[in-house]
Structures are given as structure tokens and as C-alpha cells.
Amino acid sequence: MKNLTLLTVLMFFGFVSSPLFAQKDGYVEDYLERLENSRKYIVLVAETMPEDKYSFKATPESLSFAENLLHIGYAMDWHSQSLLGDRESRDWQTDIVFKVGTKSKAEMIALINHTFDETIQLIGQFDTAQLDDELDYFGLNRSKRQIFMLLSDHITHHRAQMLVSMRLNGLVPPRYVLFQ
């Protein structure tokens, strides 16, 4: 009887401490809200730019509007699925998923939405006990918490380049959405 009681207590604590019963981390919840707002804004920006301006480059060395949009998708995929998840990284040189190629505006917007969906799903299931785990980020030790922040910065950086492209084409970008 003692063994059965001990086994029951151990099983109870095993279940209570499992990820199924873990409380949501406020950091992750806040991050997901910010990421969803970022998605809404970038899709609005992408929808506002006329398709015939998607190939516009602010300078010859710059990425085009379309290349910035899909580069955001590539980086989001890499930061979330490869750095925070466990999937092998795509090779930027050979990957065709996030290359503009012959993709239409609608296909690019659908791809960026799909990438946000996958990123949000992965981060929503992220084990917050790993937030302080460190990994190599271009030769620097960075925690997974920092990877979350780096991903947000990267999205903002390239979206800002897209906004400049809009302005240089005489377009007024959509009003900034707060808390992204």
C-alpha cells in the first residue's frame, strides 16, 4: 500500500510539473501579441504597395520591396524554426521558398502569413525553461530570450526599408500600429 501511495504522489507531481500544466509565461504571451500586431502591419504594408512597384530598390545595392518582404519571412523561419526550434536551417543561397522568383504579390503575402502562422505556433508551444539557454549567433553567445528580441528587431529593420520604398514611390504607408 505504501508503494502505491508513493507511486501516486510521484505521478501527481510528474503531471503537475509537466509542460501540459505549466503556466503561460508573461514574456511569451506579450511577445505573441507583439508578433501578431507585427503581422497585421506588415501585411497591410505589403497590400498597400502596388504589385508593379514590388521590384523597386531604393539604391542599386538595396533589396527590392519584394526581397525585403521575403527576407523577413526567411529570417523569421530561421530564428524560430532553426534557432528556437530544432529544424535544420535553410540555406539562403539555395533555398527557393523565400526567393522572389516569379511569385505574385498575392503569393508573397500568403507566404509571409504562413510563416507568421508557423512562427506563432512554435513560440506558443515554446518551453519557457529554455529562455536562458544560450546558442551561437554569428559567433556570439545569445540566449533564446535574446533570439526573440533579435527576431523582432530584424522584422522592424526590413519593414522600415519597405516603408522607405513606399515613400520614394510617392505612397503614404499605412499608419503605424502600436505595440509591435
Domains of the chain, residue spans: 32-168
Are the C-beta atoms of residues 81 and 122 closer than 8 Å to each other? yes
C-alpha 95/C-alpha 92 separation (Å) is 5
How does 119-140 read in b/e, with b if 16+ C-beta sit within 10 Å? bbebbeebebeebeeeeeeeee
pLDDT at 93: 83
Chosen CATH of 32-168 out of 3.40.50.970, 1.20.120.450, 1.10.3720.10, 3.40.50.2300: 1.20.120.450
Q: Which helix (H) or strand (E) holds 163?
A: helix 144-168
Q: What is the pLDDT along the chain (180 residues), one digit of tens a residue?
A: 565 555 555 555 555 444 444 445 688 999 999 999 999 999 999 999 999 999 999 999 999 999 999 999 999 999 988 888 888 888 878 889 999 999 999 999 999 999 999 999 999 999 999 999 999 888 999 999 999 999 999 999 999 999 999 999 999 999 887 655
Helix (H) or strand (E) holding 37: helix 26-48
pLDDT at 21: 44
Reduced to 3 states (helix: H, G, I; strand: E, B; else coil), residue 18 is coil
Q: How far is CA 123 from CA 4, 12, 70, 90, in A?
A: 38, 27, 20, 19
pTM: 0.83
Instruction: Look at residue 176 in the predicted model and tell me its pLDDT.
Output: 85
Q: Is 25 in contact with 128 (CB distance < 8 Å)?
A: yes
How far is Cα 180 from Cα 177, in angstroms, rounded to an integer?
Answer: 7
| Assigned C-alpha cell, 8 | 501516486
Residues 6+ apart with CB under 8 A from 103: 66, 70, 111
Q: Dihedral through CA 23, CA 26, CA 32, CA 36, nearest 10?
A: 120
